[in-house]
Amino acid sequence: MDELDKANNDMANLFASTDIATIFLDTEKRIKRFNPATAKLLNLLAADVGRPFSDFASFVTNAALLTDIDRVLGQDTTLEKEVYDERGTCYLRRITPYRTQDRRIEGVAPTFVDISKRKRTEERLRALNKTLRPRSN
């Protein structure tokens, strides 16, 4: 019992400390659990557990996201996309099936990683590459 308690504490601390917004949804797309990064991103409260995910944050709960969730649930696949919020922040959105220990799918686990800094760096590198290319005569 002590080992299980330690493992649960480790998982709870890992889940709470990551900057990757992670939310667990059931097969009906209702919120099961989320971490502090998700609470901040979507303005979620503990009382939101059990509510439909479609009620939150229009940039992530658009028709494409809900369709992608259905696809992950139906095809047992993982989907990744770059998405932007209304402020222009770019996220890598990944939706994976939520599986039990016996491999049953009981929902999905969307995650959102802010990749805005990487995108800005890529844009600067592209601009620099253009200035460094030799000119044709």
Residue with more model confidence, 69 or 137: 69
| 31 is a domain residue | yes
| 7 is a domain residue | yes
| 123 is a domain residue | yes
d(CA 67, CA 58): 14
Residue 106 · residue 27 · CB < 8 Å: yes
pLDDT tens digit string along 103-120? 899 999 999 999 999 888
- Domain total of the chain: 1
pTM for this prediction: 0.81
Residue 34 · residue 22 · CB < 8 Å: yes
| 32 is a domain residue | yes
| 137 is a domain residue | no
Residue 122: per-residue pLDDT: 86
Question: Length of the chain, please?
Answer: 137
Q: Residue 106: which CATH number?
A: 3.30.450.20
| 112 is a domain residue | yes
What is the domain range of residue 44? 2-132
| 42 is a domain residue | yes
